[in-house]
Amino acid sequence: MTAPPRYRTDPSPSALAARLRALRTAGVPVACHVYAGLSAPSASSALHARITHAMAAAFVTGADVPRFEPPPSAHLRLLTAASRGRLDVGGPDMTTFPVDLASELWWRVHERALGAADRRAACDLLLRLGYPHRAAAAIGLTVIDPRKHVLSPDLALEQLAVLRCHLPSSAVEAMALRGARSGLPASTRRDLALFVVFRAAARGVDSTSLQAAAALAVKASSELPQNGFAGLLHRARLHRAIAAVPFVRRDITEAHRLLGRALESLSAITPATEMDRLAWADEAYALHCLLVRTHLAVGLGQRASGYVAELVQLSPGDDRTWALQGDVLAACGSLEEAVEAYGRGVALGGWGAARAAYLRGFVLERLGRVGEAAEDYVLSQRIDPTSSVVAGRGDPAPAVQGQVQPMAVQPPAGQPRPVRPRPAARGRAPQPLAR
């Protein structure tokens, strides 16, 4: 089947306002309420939502909170509430959040964030909840000037995360690259270099900044411990990042060799605590998403199926999981199963249901079920009218310019396989992740 066109939405503030108004009346409430008041996660909660709740619970008790991958949107608080018919959650501070939506944990986080000793955890959590100004205050970032700002050894990533809300991406990446070349501690230089690698790789083209950042990340990592839980997790993340360099050059064999090393590092990890298990799952989810996308991009849909099965195990409550599951099934010619997978994403509700409905409509149209496809296109636009793909689509979908076609290549030898964390020693067996 022809690859579906990429689903794009307008990132401007006016488009966000339109999206929120549409969500309020679309009738697709989000099943998970973590971001709208820190309610307890449910079986339908995505991994990133479970992480957010666990971070909040640990933060209020003063426990250590590791760094995690950012959630898929900085506006999940607004989007979640809008899907439930509420547009009154947009205040700049946690104190303005509606009392009937806020849990006790929400207020405990607010109280502790006012004068938190762990400024890094406070900033990370406030950013996940969509309060960038409060996050900036938590780390003492009051003046935003990329020409004069000096990154802190302990808070560099948090400073960059806040600055991304106010400055162009190019300016923030330039700051990170300067920091990666500076005399900051090796762990900070590594994290700054990886920050640049991930963002440069997302553009999908080779560049001097991508190459330089990858080399700096490898150099800084060589100065740090490679064993233990943290060392192995960082090594997996390093190889996941630098695999982007050969991939954008279409050196698929080398890219998969590096991704295989990332999988080896993950398989050697023994999570001992619940927070460790979440950190492992967070990296595993990001890695398997990348494995699925890289295999689909070069026409290896069958090999991608094993990796997407891992995503279903890790985070069945994430609409991205079912979008990738549907993409893999469609690439393999299993169109009816793809329709079911995209339908799982629609059932999760919220903003993600717009993309899921569009993708389901795209496949239904290929199956000749034009009436059902048109209904899904209408549903998608009703949820998110800012999509450049869905807008103006009431009839069967025309071809979209710029479509990515799979590139037929031979599967490289030594293909990496999905992994599970190594079983812990007796007495500290990890509990299974919530399904």
Residues 15-64: pLDDT tens digits? 999 999 999 999 999 989 999 999 999 999 999 999 999 999 999 999 99
Half-sphere exposure of 350 (CA within 13 A, CB side): 26
- DSSP structure class, residue 205: S
Contact assessment for residue 217 and residue 262, using Cβ atoms and an 8 Å cutoff? no
SS3 225: coil
**Residue 72 has which token pair?**
């898929």
Give the pLDDT confidence score for residue 167 in this predicted structure. 87
Is the confidence at residue 423, as pLDDT, over 90?
no
**Residue 326 has which token pair?**
């549907």
pLDDT tens sequence across 205-227: 899 999 999 999 999 999 999 88
Task: Measure the CA–CA gap between 161 and 69, rounded to whole angstroms.
Answer: 12
Give the pLDDT confidence score for residue 118 in this predicted structure. 87
Q: What is the largest CA-CA distance in the chain?
A: 62
Task: Measure the CA–CA gap between 84 and 274, rounded to whole angstroms.
Answer: 30
405 versus 361: the higher-pLDDT residue is 361
Give the pLDDT confidence score for residue 392 in this predicted structure. 39
Q: Which of 142, 151, 128 lies closest to 59 in space, CA to CA?
A: 128
Q: Which of 205, 126, 130 lies closest to 158 in space, CA to CA?
A: 126
Instruction: Compute how many other C-beta atoms are within 10 angstroms of the C-beta atom of residue 178.
Output: 14
pLDDT band for position 150 (cuts 50, 70, 90) = confident
Spacing of C-alpha 303 from chain mean position: 22
Give the pLDDT confidence score for residue 9 in this predicted structure. 84
**Residue 208 has which token pair?**
């001097």
Contact assessment for residue 220 and residue 180, using Cβ atoms and an 8 Å cutoff? yes
Quote the pTM value.
Answer: 0.87
**Residue 149 has which token pair?**
């700002």
Spacing of C-alpha 297 from chain mean position: 19
- DSSP structure class, residue 53: H
Q: What is the CA radius of gyration of the chain?
A: 21
pLDDT tens sequence across 184-194: 999 999 999 99
Task: Measure the CA–CA gap between 244 and 336, rounded to whole angstroms.
Answer: 33
Task: Measure the CA–CA gap between 38 and 112, rounded to whole angstroms.
Answer: 15
Give phi and psi for 412, each to the nearest 5: -70, 150
**Residue 317 has which token pair?**
């409550």
Mean pLDDT over residues 139-158, rounded?
82
Contact assessment for residue 307 and residue 292, using Cβ atoms and an 8 Å cutoff? yes
Spacing of C-alpha 224 from chain mean position: 26
Is the confidence at residue 396, as pLDDT, over 50?
no
**Residue 382 has which token pair?**
């009703």
Q: Which of 277, 207, 285, 269 lies closest to 234 in space, CA to CA?
A: 269
Q: Is 53 left (phi over 0), alpha (psi -120 to 50) or beta?
A: alpha
SS3 378: helix
Q: Which of 278, 283, 285 lies closest to 265 in space, CA to CA?
A: 283
CB-count burial class (<10 Å; 0-12, 13-18, 19+) for 411: middle
Task: Measure the CA–CA gap between 41 and 53, rounded to whole angstroms.
Answer: 7
pLDDT band for position 268 (cuts 50, 70, 90) = very high
